Amino acid sequence: EIVLTQSPGTLSLSPGERATLSCRATQSVADNYLAWHQQKPGQAPRLLIYGASSRATGIPDRFSGSGSGTDFTLTISRLEPEDFAVYHCQQYGSSPITFGQGTRLEIK
């Protein structure tokens, strides 16, 4: 089973700043099948990025994903108030599919 470790656990930033979230895997993610989801309180997660770097439909271009193998990054170039949420990475390249523990992005 691939274990995903997200860092930091909590990130405190201000609107307008740049956010960099990390997701590290214990073994290489097949075909870079790595996704990022955003989750707001009381809501289901929403897909942001798939295939490590492809934005899902309707996702603003301030969200970008990068990385390969075992190290992946989600970058939000300029934080908007609605971006403060929990972010989950997910690998879907091998079974069992696994998630990271989440990074909470909070307003500083």
Partner 1 sequence: QVQLQQWGAGLLKPSETLSLTCVVSGASFSGYYWTWIRQPPGKGLEWIGEINHSGSTNYNPSLKSRVTMSVDTSKNQFSLKLSSVTAADTAVYYCARRIDSWGQGTLVTVSS
CA distances, 47 to each of 8, 54, 55, 99 (Å): 20, 11, 9, 13
Which residue, 26 or 78, has its beta carbon nearer to partner 1?
A: 26
- CA end-to-end span of the chain, whole Å? 35
Q: How far is the CB of 14 from partner 1 (least distance, A)?
A: 25
DSSP secondary structure code for residue 79 in this structure? -
Position of tokens 């523990």? 101
Q: Which one of residues 28, 53, 93, 99 is an interface residue with partner 1 (CB under 8 A)?
A: 99
Two tokens, residue 7 = 């860092």
103-107 and 10-13 strand pairing: parallel
**98 is a contact residue toward partner 1 (CB under 8 A):** yes
State which of residues 35, 52, 74, 79 lies at the interface with partner 1 (CB under 8 A): 35
Which of 1, 31, 82, 106 lies at the binding interface for partner 1 (CB under 8 A)?
1
Distance CA 105, CA 100 (A): 15
Region 47-86 residues binding partner 1, contact defined as CB under 8 A: 47, 50, 56
Task: Please identify, using beta-carbon distances, which residue of 81 and 96 lies nearer to partner 1.
Answer: 96
Contact footprint for partner 1 (CB under 8 A)? 1, 35, 44-47, 50, 56, 88, 90, 92, 95-102
